[in-house]
Amino acid sequence: MQKLEVFGAKKLKGQINISGSKNASLPILAATLLSKNQITLRNLPKVKDIETMMNLLDSLGSNIKKAKDKIIINNSYQKKTFASYNLVKTMRAGILVLGPLLAKFGNAKVSLPGGCAIGTRPVDIHLDALSKLGVKYKIIQGYVHATAPKGLIGNKIRFSKISVGATENLIIAASFAKGSTYLSNIAIEAEIKDLINFLKSMGCNIKWTGKRSVKIEGVSEVEDITYPVMFDRIEAGTYLIAAAVTEGNLKIKNIIPKIIQTEINILKKIGAKINIKKDEVHIVGNKKIKSINIKTAPYPGFPTDLQAQMMVLLCKANKQSVIKEDIFENRFMHVAELNRMGAQILIKGNKAIVQGNINFAPAELMATDLRASVSLVLAALTAKGKSVINRIYHLDRGYENIEKKLKRVGAKIRRVN
């Protein structure tokens, strides 16, 4: 298995170009199943999860051509409605093909995603909401067997809890339901807005009716289009934190700063110097990092996907900070590894009490999930000496060319087998 060797301590200096969003690309790739013809997507990040989703579409009969800067999906012969466990188990977003398959064929057999390091990842909210569109389903041996005997019928649905994936599944399914669907208490992450823009550019009829509500008029087919997915705001946030934690000086390019305003405000509050331009953020880290208490929340709150990275930064703050993880039940897997590097973090339920004034020491480390693994890279960049990070397949799921991008701004980092 490959690992990363990181030689710290290094101050990062230079420019990092942000790739396309993994979490916008996954629902948009699933939504291409609505097409009976050809859809072209640009700016997809070259990361493992996107490859897995393309393999899943391929297994359903989509014909995928990869060109240099785009992929062309042709669904003229796409007829299958079975999404197998061996593809869905490594990437929980596989459940997102359920909505489009039901919308297009009125039936689907999709593997339940199963749990992962950060939580059990249930899909009850997806299934409850789909049943309100007329879907009947049974769970048999780890698969959802779903049918819509009379096709999908529009309805009024209020989500009991804000769920990114359930919102995405329902917006896609309702796009082909008969009549009107009103969704409320939906997630409003930037990736969901990108999905809605994608669906509307294919000819779907979706209108915002409130901060967290949309009205969807079902259509019966979609047009061929080319669509560029948005930038990856979590990758951008990760590199902003990398600049702050290494007292570096980075220009983060190809982004829309207002989409990461929450993160920018927090980094300014703890002492980073930040300048914003149209499609870039320039950040200069500060030797003195002020402590701050953080709680993760649905957008526009502080993203759970940056919690581990922010924890590394707060280990270097002038005082203790408290981080509350309110989204996932087990998203502190990075704490044990950071403590092995000299951090003093105490977990109390869904709170992490983070002591400040820590200097990380290099160590041999184990990645456990995507965002935990990148937090170990950030800590290793500030540790004087050589750290080794194992199981970096977690990292490759969501960060495109991470060692190349870091090397280009002065990091001493290399991948070894």
Active site residues: 116
CB of residue 231 vs ligand EPZ: minimum separation in angstroms?
14
- Decide: is 233 part of the binding site for ligand EPZ (CB under 6 A): no
Residue with tokens 């540790």: 383
DSSP string, 147-180: E-TT--B--EEE-SS--HHHHHHHHHHHTTSBSE
- Copy the structure tokens of residue 285: 């880290």
- Decide: is 165 part of the binding site for ligand EPZ (CB under 6 A): yes
- Decide: is 122 part of the binding site for ligand EPZ (CB under 6 A): yes
Number of residues that bind ligand EPZ (CB under 6 A): 24
> How far, in Å, CA of 291 to CA of 339, rounded?
18
CB of residue 191 vs ligand EPZ: minimum separation in angstroms?
6
- Decide: is 181 part of the binding site for ligand EPZ (CB under 6 A): no
Q: Which sign does the torsion angle of CA 397, 403, 406, 412 carry?
A: positive
Q: In the range 346-405, which residues lie near ligand EPZ by CB under 6 A?
A: 370-371, 398
Who's near 279: CB < 8 A, 6+ residues apart?
253, 254, 255, 256, 257
Q: x-or-dash pattern for ligand EPZ, window 67-106, by CB under 6 A?
A: -------------------------xx-------------
Task: Indicate the residue among 75 and 373 with the shorter CB distance to ligand EPZ.
Answer: 373
- Decide: is 123 part of the binding site for ligand EPZ (CB under 6 A): yes
CB of residue 262 vs ligand EPZ: minimum separation in angstroms?
13
Who's near 51: CB < 8 A, 6+ residues apart?
none
CA distances for 170 relative to 67, 185, 327, 349, 416, angstroms = 31, 12, 20, 32, 42
Task: Indicate the residue among 379 and 383 with the shorter CB distance to ligand EPZ.
Answer: 379
> How far, in Å, CA of 143 to CA of 165, rounded?
17
- Beta carbons within 10 angstroms of residue 1's beta carbon: 7
Kindly indicate which of the ranges 10-18, 162-170, 215-223, 287-295 contains the residues binding ligand EPZ, using the contact rule CB under 6 A. 162-170
CB-nearest residue to ligand EPZ: 165
**Binding test (CB under 6 A) with ligand EPZ, winner from 10, 109, 126, 251:** 126
CB of residue 348 vs ligand EPZ: minimum separation in angstroms?
19
Helices 164-174 and 124-131 pack at an angle, to 10 degrees, of 30
CB of residue 328 vs ligand EPZ: minimum separation in angstroms?
5
Catalog residues that contact ligand EPZ under the rule CB under 6 A. 23, 26, 92-93, 119, 121-126, 161, 163-166, 187, 304-305, 327-328, 370-371, 398
